[in-house]
Amino acid sequence: MVSANLVPLTVIKGAGSEFIPLPQGENATLADFHSIQTKTTHSPAYFTSGFYKIEAGPARPAHYTFEETKYVLNGQIDVLDEATGITHHLVPGDFAFFNVGTKVKFSTKSSGLAFYAVTRPVRSPHPNLQGREEEKKKKNKSSRL
């Protein structure tokens, strides 16, 4: 039997990087594709995930007022940590965690793509990713898995 206390899985179909063009005149973009307000034991928070895409061009500064993780999927993303002066060259398989108060500059000599998860609400859903969430079908309490 399906429990009334269970929450259904959210699936985003086809949320791949090929749907994320850079805005005109920009060399980097965020593509938020899912956000949820969590039910934590301490206080409610948001959890949002998406893709970060960057191409060669000017460095992109970021000063974090939320936590974020980035996992590089392809290319290279260079991150200058302003606290240490060290530039980290992130390549596929590399993972970075940005704490509240972290100040960095993102750049690349070619291009890079990363998956990210952040503790903030969705800023602006990427138009090419909207409408890709699968419909949730309710099952009655007597349904079997």
Task: Tell me what pLDDT residue 60 has.
Answer: 96
pTM of the model: 0.73
Distance of alpha carbon 76 from alpha carbon 54, whole angstroms = 9
Q: What is the DSSP string of 50-102?
A: EEEEEESSS-EEEE-SS-EEEEEEEE-EEEEETTTTEEEEE-TT-EEEE-TT-
Q: Domain for residue 82, yes or no?
A: yes
Q: Domain for residue 133, yes or no?
A: no
Integer CA distances (angstroms), 51 to 54, 65, 86, 95, 145, in order? 10, 19, 24, 14, 33
- At 53-79, the pLDDT tens digits run 999 999 999 999 988 999 999 999 999
Partners of 60 in beta bridges: 106
> Which residues constitute the domain of residue 62?
26-118
Domain total in the chain: 1
Task: Tell me what pLDDT residue 140 has.
Answer: 43
Distance of alpha carbon 92 from alpha carbon 84, whole angstroms = 23
Q: Domain for residue 11, yes or no?
A: no
- At 18-32, the pLDDT tens digits run 667 788 898 988 887
CATH code at 33? 2.60.120.10
- At 86-138, the pLDDT tens digits run 999 999 999 999 989 999 999 999 999 999 999 888 777 677 766 666 665 54
Q: Domain for residue 87, yes or no?
A: yes
Q: Domain for residue 96, yes or no?
A: yes
pLDDT for residue 141 is more than 60: no
Q: Domain for residue 10, yes or no?
A: no
At a CB cut-off of 8 Å and minimum separation 6, what does 13 contact? 132, 133, 134
Q: Domain for residue 143, yes or no?
A: no
